[in-house]
Structure 1
Amino acid sequence: MFDILGMVAALNRPGLLVRTARYGLDDYRRDVHLPRLLATNAPVKKGDALLRLMDIERELNDQRVADHAEYSFARHIDILIAIMGETRLLRAGNAPRVH
């Protein structure tokens, strides 16, 4: 069985990308950003959204490493913000509840 949070933790991206994405994290709104990033208006479960975002990020990183002309730094940042936001939501949903 794979661990989606472990996959996120294993991401190793340049510091500039990560630091820049962290600046946008507090403004991440799932209902606004996710439909645009995933090109769908259908509701998406947290884990499913995170897996799809990870696939998109992997493609963007491959483009970055290959110095591909179609690579978009801004889109990469948007996707990383969403990954961080979805990870935060997933962790909050899995946190033990204190009564």
Structure 2
Amino acid sequence: MQTLSQIVSGMRRPRLLVRAARIGSEGYTRSRHLPRLIGAQAAADPEEALTRLLETEEPLDAARRSGSAGYSPARHVELLSAIIAELEIARREQASEEIAPPPDHAKASGSASFLRAT
């Protein structure tokens, strides 16, 4: 099974659309944009949010490809911007989990740590 990162990497969209989405992702505010894009109960987990954003974007891309009159480039850029931003949030969270010390690892600072260390 492909990871969400691989799925997003495999997406093929017009260069101008992707460029606009990258610019838009810089102004992405999760608490403001996510509920509007995927519903009132926005996902707390970036991977769940990505899954729902991808499900929402797929029919929009199909409308773009078919030349549908109901296609909204602005909405498509918003969704792609959110996908890019959520992917970055997921990557940062994954990186911080990999770097974080094990939960039983005590910090060597403060008086309690000093007393244990000496």
Q: Is the 8 A contact 2:34 2:42 kept in 1?
A: no
Q: Deviations over 1:31-69 (max 9, x none)?
A: 110000012135432111101111111111000000011
Distance 1:85 1:69 in 2: 28
Higher relative contact order at CA 8 Å, sep ≥6: structure 1 or structure 2?
Answer: 1
Deviations 1:3-38 (A, max 9, x none): 111001101100000001111111101111000001
Give TM-score, length-normalised by structure 1: 0.92
Aligned residues: 99
- Give structure 1 stretches of 5+ with no counterpart: none
Of structures 1 and 2, the larger Rg is shown by 2
Q: Does 1:45 align with 2:38?
A: no
C-alpha distance 42-9 of structure 1, shift in aligned 2 (>3 A)? closer
Q: RMSD value over aligned CA atoms?
A: 1.4
Cα deviation, residue 98, structure 1: 6.3
The one of 89, 96, 99 aligned to 1:97: 99
Whole-Å Cα distance in 2 between the matches of residues 26 and 54 of structure 1?
A: 19
2:30 corresponds to 1:30: yes
Show structure 1 runs of 4+ deviating over 6 A: none
